[in-house]
């Protein structure tokens, strides 16, 4: 019987990872990016015009950024050069630029694909500008981070940003079907486990193929894994989440908006997403305290008490029991009446304070510990509120040069309904007693 490796082509095929063997050979084979590679997609139109400009490919891992760059070079007859910002420095860039200039002298342009371009510092990013402007290279940079934050404005102004999307369920399922055709055997999974595998991949095409390859290696003849067996074999893949970058900010924003939108189920989901990804629970505790003062405020004064207590409970209990205290606070906030009345009042008062300088308070509310100050009229005419009917004098406390202001306008809900009634009552008394309502 002939050995498998008697055929060098077959040996190479077996040695290469499945994700590499299934790399698309044409733009229309790229999964999940039809907004770019479909008949009316931006990249399809560029290829048809055979006039590529520099681009930044922004998207999560495993969405086809490198593959698409290779296909663009091939379809437009550009020389393809690839470097990674993780392993390259200024000297490497100079060599690439020199080679590209030599090709240009021979009449051929170069497509330079820079993986993880956001890893280059500002000076290194600036080094691309001259060779982009004179046509020495067509730059295609790939990044998983938000270009607005990570790339120079000068570089961004010379490149078009194209967004690659995480692969949806259908696209990942399509990749698994291709993998089964390549391997000439079905995945050793039942239907529920197959769905779990797709969810584990988290929108990453390379990941779903790598996980599938691990399963084929692990499975015994005629063995089929259920979901529990799948998890045991591949363990689990950590969610795409960088605590310093977009994943972090996107999820905390989603949590905050779900709480503000009074959706406890969605709020719990995002809270658990961040717990699961390894977010610092005390960071989440601090954010819940912020939500209590920004979005609930005095509509439910207990919100701040409960969130502070939850933060302290986590600090006291640690994991995993402490997370339950934060979950309880999260649900409380999401189900509490909402008000940003104090938040808006604070911002309005801060604006007026900054715009009007060091205005002296009215003299009648200033203490007069010296004869000089008494002679200046400090404290004259002040009425002690506790000695007045309803413990309310109705005097004006704003600087005379500023006049009375209204910052706080509580909504008619939650505990602020009662506060609103008090303010209306005091406003009537102020008018009756000669103050300004």
> Can you tell me the mean pLDDT for 135-145?
92
98 with 110: CB under 8 angstroms? Answer: no
pLDDT in tens, 150-189: 899 999 999 999 999 989 999 999 999 999 999 999 999 9
pTM of structure? 0.64
Q: What is the pLDDT of residues 63-118, one digit of tens each?
A: 999 999 999 999 999 999 999 998 888 888 999 999 999 999 988 999 999 999 99
Domain 169-234 has CATH 1.10.8: yes
User: What average pLDDT does the segment 278-284 reach?
Assistant: 87
Please choose, from the candidates 67, 57, 62, the residue with its C-alpha nearest in 3D space to the C-alpha of residue 26: 67
Looking at domain 33-163, its CATH superfamily turns out to be P-loop containing nucleotide triphosphate hydrolases (3.40.50.300)
The answer to whether 47 and 72 are in contact (CB under 8 A) is yes
Whether pLDDT at 123 is above 70: yes
| pLDDT-based confidence at residue 13 (cuts at 50, 70, 90) | low
**Tens-digit pLDDT profile for residues 293-306:** 999 999 999 999 99
Tell me the fold of 246-335. Zinc Finger, Delta Prime; domain 3 (1.20.272)
Res. 4 pLDDT band, cuts 50 70 90:
very low
Q: How far apart are CA 122 and CA 184, in angstroms?
A: 48
Q: CA-CA distances (angstroms) from residue 221 to 125, 216, 217, 288? A: 52, 10, 11, 51
> What is the largest distance, in Å, between two alpha-carbon atoms of the chain?
116
Q: Where are the domains of the chain?
A: 33-163, 169-234, 246-335, 358-432
Backbone angles phi, psi at 83, to 5 degrees: -135, 160
Quick: pLDDT tens for 323-379.
999 999 999 999 999 999 999 999 999 999 888 888 889 888 888 888 888 888 888
How high is the pLDDT of residue 81? 93
CA 248, CA 82: separation in Å to the nearest integer?
A: 30
pLDDT in tens, 312-334: 999 888 888 899 999 999 999 99
pLDDT digits (tens, 9 = 90+) for 235-269: 755 455 555 556 677 889 999 999 999 999 999 99
- Here the tokens at position 419 are 């506060």
Averaged pLDDT for residues 32-52: 90
Q: Residues 294, 346: contact at Cβ < 8 Å?
A: no
Please check the confidence at residue 435 and state whether its pLDDT lies above 70: no
Mean pLDDT throughout 290-295?
A: 95
- What CATH fold (topology level) applies to the domain 358-432? post-AAA+ oligomerization domain-like (1.10.3710)
Query: CB–CB of 432/379 below 8 Å?
Result: no
Query: For residue 27, what are the contacts with CB-CB under 8 A and spacing of at least 6?
Result: 37, 43, 44, 47, 68, 71, 72, 75
Residues 202-237: pLDDT tens digits?
889 999 999 999 999 988 888 999 988 888 888 755
In 3D, which of 197, 330, 177, 207 has the Cα closest to residue 257?
330
413-417's contacts with Cβ under 8 Å and 24+ in sequence apart are 413/299, 413/337, 413/338, 413/339, 414/298, 414/299, 414/300, 414/336, 414/337, 414/338, 414/339, 415/298, 415/299, 415/300, 415/301, 415/337, 416/297, 416/298, 416/299, 416/337, 416/339, 416/341
């Amino acid at each position: 019987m002939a050995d498998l490796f008697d055929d060098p082509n077959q040996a190479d095929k077996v040695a290469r990872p499945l994700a590499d063997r299934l790399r698309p050979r044409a733009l229309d084979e790229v999964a999940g990016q039809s907004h770019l590679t479909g008949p009316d997609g931006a990249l399809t139109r560029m290829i048809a015009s055979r006039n590529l400009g520099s681009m930044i490919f922004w998207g999560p891992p495993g969405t086809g950024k490198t593959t698409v760059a290779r296909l663009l070079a091939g379809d437009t007859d550009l020389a393809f050069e690839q470097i990674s910002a993780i392993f390259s420095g200024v000297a490497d860039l100079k060599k690439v630029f020199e080679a590209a200039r030599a090709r240009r002298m021979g009449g051929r342009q170069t497509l330079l694909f820079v993986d993880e371009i956001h890893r280059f510092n500002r000076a290194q990013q600036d080094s691309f500008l001259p060779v982009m402007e004179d046509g020495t290279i067509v730059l295609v940079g790939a990044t998983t981070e938000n270009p607005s934050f990570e790339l120079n404005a000068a570089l961004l102004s010379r490149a078009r940003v194209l967004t690659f999307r995480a692969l949806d369920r259908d696209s990942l399922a399509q990749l698994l079907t291709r993998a089964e055709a390549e391997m000439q055997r079905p995945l050793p999974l039942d239907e529920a486990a197959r769905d779990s595998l797709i969810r584990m991949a988290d929108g990453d095409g390379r990941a779903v193929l790598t996980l599938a390859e691990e399963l084929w290696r692990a499975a015994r003849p005629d063995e089929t894994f259920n979901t529990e067996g799948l998890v045991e074999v591949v363990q689990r893949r950590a969610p795409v989440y960088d605590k310093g970058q977009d994943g972090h900010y996107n999820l905390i924003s989603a949590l905050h908006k779900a709480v503000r939108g009074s959706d406890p189920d969605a709020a719990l989901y995002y809270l658990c997403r961040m717990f699961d990804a390894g977010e610092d629970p005390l960071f989440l505790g601090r954010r819940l305290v912020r939500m209590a003062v920004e979005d609930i405020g005095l509509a439910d004064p207990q919100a701040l008490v409960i969130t502070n207590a939850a933060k302290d409970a986590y600090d006291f209990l640690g994991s995993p029991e402490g997370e339950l205290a934060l979950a309880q606070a999260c649900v409380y906030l999401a189900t509490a009446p909402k008000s940003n009345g104090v938040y808006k009042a604070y911002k309005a008062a801060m604006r007026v304070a900054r715009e009007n300088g060091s205005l002296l308070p009215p003299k009648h509310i200033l203490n007069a510990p010296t004869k000089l100050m008494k002679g200046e009229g400090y404290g004259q005419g002040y009425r002690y509120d506790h000695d007045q009917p309803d413990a309310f004098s109705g005097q004006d406390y704003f600087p005379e040069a500023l006049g009375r202001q209204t910052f706080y306008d509580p909504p008619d809900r939650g505990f602020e309904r009662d506060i609103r009634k008090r303010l209306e009552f005091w406003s009537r008394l102020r008018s009756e007693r000669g103050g300004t309502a």
